Amino acid sequence: MARIDLIDLAHAYGGPDADPSTFALKPTSMTWRQGGAYALLGPSGCGKTTLLNIISGIVRPSRGKVLFDGRDVMALTTQQRNIAQVFQFPVIYDTMTVGENLAFPLKNRGLPRAQIEARVAEIARLLDLGPVLARKANRLSADAKQKISLGRGLVRADVAAVLFDEPLTVIDPGMKWELRSKLKVLHRALDLTMIYVTHDQTEALTFADTVVVMHEGSVVQTGTPEELFVRPAHTFVGYFIGSPGMNVLPAKVQGRQARVAGHALKLVRSYGELPAGARIEIGIRPEFVRIAAPAPDLLTAEVERIDDLGRTRFARVRVGDLRLAAQVPNGQAVTEGAAGLMFDPAQIHVYADSRRVEGAA
Task: Name the residues that contact other proteins, by CB under 8 A.
Answer: 56, 58, 77-79, 83-85, 87-89, 91, 93-100, 102-109, 113, 116-117, 120-121, 124, 133-136, 138-139, 149, 152-153
By beta-carbon proximity to other proteins, the closer residue of 160 and 350 is: 160
Q: Which is nearer to other proteins, 56 or 193 (CB)?
A: 56
Q: Which is nearer to other proteins, 149 or 354 (CB)?
A: 149
The number of beta carbons lying within 10 Å of the beta carbon of residue 361 is 5
Tell whether the torsion through CA atoms of 127, 130, 132 and 133 is positive or negative.
positive
Residues 6+ apart with CB under 8 A from 245: 238, 239
Nearer to other proteins, 104 or 207 (CB): 104
Closer by beta carbon to other proteins, 42 or else 105? 105
The least CB distance from residue 134 to other proteins, in Å, is 5
CA torsion sign for 282, 285, 287, 291 is positive
Nearer to other proteins, 25 or 341 (CB): 25
By beta-carbon proximity to other proteins, the closer residue of 186 and 325 is 186
CB of 74 to other proteins, least distance (A): 16
List, edge to edge, every strand of the sheet that includes 218-223: 83-86, 161-165, 193-198, 37-41, 210-215, 218-223
Judged by DSSP in three states, 110 sits in: coil
CA 315 – CA 334 distance, rounded (Å): 8
Min dist. Cβ of residue 124 to other proteins (A)? 7
Counting DSSP H helices and E strands in the chain, the numbers are: 9, 21
CA angle 192, 143, 181 (to 5 degrees): 45
Check: CB of residue 179 under 8 Å from CB of residue 147: yes
Which amino acid appears at position 336 of this protein?
Answer: E
- C-beta of 44: minimal distance to other proteins in Å? 17
Smallest gap, in angstroms, from Cβ of residue 358 to other proteins?
A: 42
For the stretch 108-131, what's the b/e string if a residue is b when 16 or more beta carbons lie within 10 angstroms of its beta carbon?
eeebeeeebeebbeebbebbebee
